[in-house]
Amino acid sequence: MAYQHIQIPTSGEKIKVNQDMSLDVPDHPIIPFIEGDGIGVDITPVMKDVTDAAVAKAYGGRKKIAWMEVYCGEKAADKYEGDWFPAETLEAIKEYIVGIKGPLTTPVGGGFRSLNVALRQEMDLYVCQRPVRWFTGVPSPVKEPDKTNMVIFRENSEDIYAGIEYKAGTPEASKVIDFLTGEMGVTKIRFPENCGIGIKPVSEEGTKRLVRKAIQYTIDQDLPSLTLVHKGNIMKFTEGAFCDWGYELAREEFGAQPIDGGPWCSMKNPNTGKEIIVKDVIADAMLQQVLLRPAEYSVIATLNLNGDYLSDALAAQVGGIGIAPGANLSDEVALFEATHGTAPKYAGQDKVNPGSLILSAEMMLRHLGWGEAADLIVKAMEGAIGAKTVTYDFERLMDDAELKSCSEFGAEMIKHMG
């Protein structure tokens, strides 16, 4: 396909999806990337350099990524005459199957809706997978950060992120409130005259496809438990249903058996024969459980908003969102991105930690089947942190650390690839 502003690299080839949904990855895959707003300009080039160095070292030049810049956010608005979300960006990511993005700004309280959420919804990237692990030497506010080792599977297509909201005082809000009070017998809208309204869709299909991926991951990685996190005591037909449908799926598709009458249940890992416990925890309790008893949690499946909160909270336990990676996945397309945002106060200062985006690239390399290069990124991260050559976020919490800029940290990582 010909694009208006996207330059297709002449040196690379497309990744293809095989019939069994596995990837057919050429040695020079074209990978679309969005630089991102704010600190995107700092972290994205460093991520590319570190990734290129790991691939070059792992495969002696035989494999190489052909990066292809695609545009979204402020850079897109400049290039496409005010269009923040060009259609060809979506087309390119779908066509090239695997991509990576920097953070994009979303205004609070008004203005346009999140471009990050729009990318996920438009491509039906229904899984947001965010691993949380500690790297030796990273400063952490908890005593035993090594006990935090979890992977969040956040439902990425439903919940209040659907963006069905009506502003207080508008005819739309009045119409919804009139319907609820007039036709549905609702009496508990406390101040109906000036009240914003938001809708929270949560479906059986949306829940089950997310929980299915989370359980499959638990099996593939031979992990001990899957925890459904929800606020089902209060939101019974959305969050409570998420929990019920999650258990139902575990029982019906994975043969899980109730423990002591349920709802917790137990299943056997079909590959290893080990037991997997499927359990649930209410979201507020979970936020204290992960701090006090992190070793008891492994894979977490949760709704969109809970997953958003939990991702940043868990990231803090292992050193902060400077080092928290992620992936947005459909059955075909994968778009990798850091957990953090655009940190506008640091934009363009070559200051912030590029670790989250680099570790997102590490996830991307594993997704491509390039595990040797991914391992080198982990080794490089451990090396640079072990040598105490770190960016401001770690340096301010460590004794005797050497402060490095964003790009210097990337260079340190490359040195530690060996």
Ligand X SMILES: NC(=O)C1=CN([C@@H]2O[C@H](COP(=O)(O)OP(=O)(O)OC[C@H]3O[C@@H](n4cnc5c(N)ncnc54)[C@H](OP(=O)(O)O)[C@@H]3O)[C@@H](O)[C@H]2O)C=CC1
Q: Where does this chain bind ligand X (CB under 6 A)?
A: 39, 103-106, 116, 320-322, 337, 340-344, 352-353, 356, 393
Strands (E), 29-94: 30-34, 66-69
Other beta carbons within 10 Å of 206? 20
Q: Cβ of residue 133: shortest distance to ligand X, in angstroms?
A: 17
CB 329 within 8 A of CB 129: yes
Which residue, 331, 339, 365, 357, is CA-closest to 125? 331
Nearest CB to ligand X, comparing residues 276 and 385 = 385
Nearest CB to ligand X, comparing residues 344 and 386 = 344
Residues 310, 302: Cα–Cα separation, whole Å: 9
Residues 32, 46: Cα–Cα separation, whole Å: 16
Q: Is 42 a catalytic residue?
A: no
Nearest CB to Mg ion, comparing residues 37 and 308 = 308
Nearest CB to ligand AKG, comparing residues 42 and 308 = 308
Q: Give the distance, in angstroms, between the CA of residue 321 and the centroid of all CA atoms in the same chain.
A: 12
Q: Scan residues 160-219 and list those touching ligand AKG (CB under 6 A).
A: none
Interacting span for ligand AKG (CB under 6 A) from 22-30, 78-86, 113-121, 139-147: 113-121
Interacting span for ligand AKG (CB under 6 A) from 75-83, 109-117, 222-230, 401-409: 109-117
Structure tokens, 404: 């490095």
List 63, 101, 213, 231, catalytic entry: 231
With CB cut-offs between 5 and 8 Å by kind, which of ligand X, ligand AKG, Mg ion, none does residue 117 bind? ligand AKG
Residues 31, 197: Cα–Cα separation, whole Å: 40
* Residue from 159, 308, 337, 362 binding Mg ion (CB under 5 A): 308
Check residue 99 and report its DSSP letter.
Answer: E
Which residue, 379, 409, 378, 417, is CA-closest to 391? 409
> Quick check: helix, strand or coil at residue 227?
strand
CB 100 within 8 A of CB 364: yes
Nearest CB to Mg ion, comparing residues 280 and 308 = 308
Residues 2, 227: Cα–Cα separation, whole Å: 45
Residue 191 exposure: Cα atoms within 13 Å on the Cβ side: 5
* Residue from 51, 116, 140, 317 binding ligand AKG (CB under 6 A): 116
Residues 294, 290: Cα–Cα separation, whole Å: 4
* Residue from 35, 280, 308, 393 binding ligand AKG (CB under 6 A): 308
Residues 13, 101: Cα–Cα separation, whole Å: 20
With CB cut-offs between 5 and 8 Å by kind, which of ligand AKG, Mg ion, ligand X, none does residue 321 bind? ligand X
User: Per rule CB under 6 A, is residue 347 in the interface with ligand AKG?
Assistant: no
Nearest CB to Mg ion, comparing residues 60 and 111 = 111
Q: Cβ of residue 352: shortest distance to ligand X, in angstroms?
A: 4
Q: Is 161 a catalytic residue?
A: yes
**For the chain, what is the largest distance between any 2 Cα atoms, rounded to a whole number of angstroms?**
70
List 42, 308, 350, 393, catalytic entry: 308
Structure tokens, 342: 């655009």
* Residue from 339, 353, 356, 389 binding ligand AKG (CB under 6 A): 339
Which residue, 358, 410, 375, is CA-closest to 389? 410
Nearest CB to Mg ion, comparing residues 47 and 315 = 315
Structure tokens, 347: 């934009």
Instruction: Confirm or deny that 201 is annotated as ligand binding.
Output: no
Instruction: Confirm or deny that 346 is annotated as ligand binding.
Output: yes
Instruction: Confirm or deny that 120 is annotated as ligand binding.
Output: yes
List 96, 126, 161, 247, catalytic entry: 161
With CB cut-offs between 5 and 8 Å by kind, which of ligand X, Mg ion, ligand AKG, none does residue 159 bind? none
List 78, 178, 222, 284, catalytic entry: 284
Instruction: Confirm or deny that 367 is annotated as ligand binding.
Output: no
Strands (E), 3-96: 16-17, 23-24, 30-34, 66-69
> Quick check: helix, strand or coil at residue 234?
coil
Interacting span for Mg ion (CB under 5 A) from 39-47, 208-216, 282-290, 307-315: 307-315
Structure tokens, 224: 């001990």
Report the Cα–Cα distance between both ends of the chain, in Å, rounded. Answer: 40
Binding-site positions for NADP(+): 105, 340-346, 353, 392, 396
Which residues are marked as active site? 161, 231, 284, 308
Q: Binding site: which residues?
A: 105, 114, 116, 120, 130, 154, 308, 340-346, 353, 392, 396
Binding site for ligand AKG (CB under 6 A): 106, 114, 116-117, 308, 311, 339, 341
Interface with Mg ion (CB under 5 A): 308
Question: Residues annotated in the binding site for D-threo-isocitrate, as ranges?
Answer: 114, 116, 120, 130, 154
